[in-house]
Structure 1
Amino acid sequence: ATPEHNAHIERFFRTLKEEELYYNLYETYSEAITSIEAYIDFYNNHRIHSALGYVTPAEYYQQSILQNVA
């Protein structure tokens, strides 16, 4: 597999690096894990995405489930 085959995940990791990892110097492994988990929660549940119609990934996923059930 190449990055082109996994573009969404590659883009997520780029955003994670640009918005979280490059701006923080973690004192401990535990602090890094806690901070990265908080960022992933923010990314999925609070950060809107233009490619998803200006909703969060969680909202987009929920909408897609409801459309498939209907």
Structure 2
Amino acid sequence: MFPAVVADDIGWLTREQMVEVDRVMMQDLRIDLIQMMENAGHRLARLVLTLAAAGVAVVAGSAAMGAAVW
């Protein structure tokens, strides 16, 4: 369902570019960081359910961002 890709085939953002993406999202588009995190988590959960619907275990840490999940 999802194509396998080589990491070198994917474009990467530098730290500075990602900071600019966050700035545009928050200042220009008025999308809060918490909303971006919720959207990312939701889409990741949907992907996991699609790929591994039989069983999934999530271990989440208590990091400040809440995105520290293994």
* TM-score tier (shorter): 0.3 to 0.5
TM-score, normalised via structure 1 length: 0.33
